[in-house]
Amino acid sequence: MRNPRVVNELTRMPRSFSKRCAKCRQRTMSIATISYDTVMNHDGRSYQVHIPNLSAPKCSNCGEISFDVVADIEIDEFFRAEAKLLTPRKIREEREKLGLTQRELAQDLDIAEETLSRWETGIQIQQRAFDKLLRGYFDDENVRAYYSRARTSTDDLRRPVVLT
Select from 59-67, 106-114, 121-129, 156-164 the region that touches Zn ion (CB under 5 A): 59-67
Strands 29-42 and 45-59: antiparallel
- Which is nearer to Zn ion, 23 or 158 (by Cβ)? 23
- Size of residue set near Zn ion by CB under 5 A: 7
Q: Which of 158, 54, 34, 142 is nearest to 106 (CA)?
A: 158
Select from 39-47, 54-62, 68-76, 84-92 the region that touches Zn ion (CB under 5 A): 54-62
Q: Which of 35, 26, 31 is nearest to 9 (CA)?
A: 31
* Radius of gyration, CA atoms only, the chain: 20
Q: How far apart are the C-alpha atoms of 54 and 56, rounded to whole Å?
A: 6
Q: How far apart are the C-alpha atoms of 28 and 66, rounded to whole Å?
A: 12
94 binds Zn ion (CB under 5 A): no
59 binds Zn ion (CB under 5 A): yes
23 binds Zn ion (CB under 5 A): yes
22 binds Zn ion (CB under 5 A): no
**Of residues 6, 10, 24, 150, which one binds Zn ion by CB under 5 A?**
24
113-121 vs 102-109: helix crossing angle, rounded to 10: 110
Select from 55-63, 84-92, 104-112, 144-152 the region that touches Zn ion (CB under 5 A): 55-63
CB of 62 to Zn ion, least distance (A): 3
61 binds Zn ion (CB under 5 A): yes
Pair 91, 77: CB distance under 8 Å: no
- Which is nearer to Zn ion, 17 or 138 (by Cβ)? 17
128-139 vs 141-148: helix crossing angle, rounded to 10: 110
CB of 67 to Zn ion, least distance (A): 15
Binding site for Zn ion (CB under 5 A): 21, 23-24, 59, 61-62, 64
